[in-house]
Amino acid sequence: MRFLVDGVFVVLAWIDAHIVDGAVNGVAMVTVAGGKVMRRLETGQLQVYGLAIFVGILAIVAFLFMFN
């Protein structure tokens, strides 16, 4: 019986260490990477933000005209 319990423990410990912790660490790495990208995009210049919004609206309007 002890062998069975030890085997289940080893399997569950591996799942915890590799799958659960891997998922949590993966989310953390994506968050850090996204922060690094956003740091470069956030310039504080309102003109750039306005241009980005305008280009985004144009892209949405073009998409709607193309597929409707």
Say what the pTM is: 0.55
CA dist., res. 54 & res. 46, Å (int): 12
> What is the tens place of the pLDDT at every residue in 3-40?
888 899 999 999 999 999 999 999 999 999 999 998 98
Residue 31, classed as helix, strand or coil, is helix
What pLDDT, on a 0 to 100 scale, did the predictor assign at position 21?
95
Buried b (16+ CB within 10 A) or exposed e, 15-49: eeeeeeeeeeeeeeeeeeeeeeeeeeeeeeeeeee
Tokens linked to 16 = 């915890």
